[in-house]
Chains A and B, each alone.
Chain A
Amino acid sequence: GDSVTQKQGQVTLSEDDFLFINCTYSTTTYPTLFWYVQYPGQGPQLLLKVTTANNKGISRGFEATYDKGTTSFHLQKASVQESDSAVYFCALGSNTGYQNFYFGKGTSLTVIP
């Protein structure tokens, strides 16, 4: 079945550091890939999404490329800020079943000022 894997449970960086959060997926279909961000005490909100393989999504300085060859959708940001501290979820929107979404376990980012 469809699944999403995020290997990093926690990431701690200093301001202006480069961010890389790993995400790989498994599917037999042609999914849409998402990154959601969840701030403390809030629900997840969409950060970016990409519907077509080999395309890149960009939002608020974050970017992720839908790489069908490596089945990856890693999240990157050139220079993080303290306000980026949150939990980041990689997700897959599947064409099978009834619009199931599959979330990774989440990566908690802490940015130290």
Chain B
Amino acid sequence: GPKVLQIPSHQIIDMGQMVTLNCDPVSNHLYFYWYKQILGQQMEFLVNFYNGKVMEKSKLFKDQFSVERPDGSYFTLKIQPTALEDSAVYFCASSPRQNSGNTLYFGEGSRLIVV
């Protein structure tokens, strides 16, 4: 099936440093998402992105967070500066159209550990 690729799979970073998580969504998809998951539990929505813009974001999407997809390359989540509570697995997802019936396709996740 369709594949969403995430790089890196794991990263350990010092608190206060910047981290960029990269996502290569399914090629013909137009809507992109980031979710945060702690300890294999609930998937928490962070942000969705379409046509070069953030469409909606949750309270978890702090000011230190930003997303972009320059020139159709990777869809990135940047955290600057990082905090201990940012430790989690971050999942990128994409879907083809704006329609409630469309399936979200997830990547394998990027495990971030902030020390």
Contacts and interface: CB of A to CB of B under 8 A. Distances in A.
A103 to B, nearest CB: 4
Interface range, B side:
20 to 34
Contact of B104 (A40, A101, A104): A101
A94 interface: yes
Contacts of B101: 32, 49, 51, 93
Looking at chain A's contact residues, the main secondary structure is loop
Given A43-B108, A43-B109, A45-B106, A99 B99 contact: yes
Contacts of B102: 32, 93, 99
Interface residues of A, number: 31
A55 interface: no
B108 A42 contact: yes
Given A89-B43, A105-B41, A98 B91 contact: no
Interface stretch (B48-56, B63-71, B73-81): B48-56
Interface of A: 29-32, 34, 38, 40-46, 49, 51, 87, 89, 93-95, 97-106, 108
Q: Which 5 A-B pairs have the closest CB atoms?
A: A43-B106, A98-B55, A93-B100, A103-B43, A32-B101
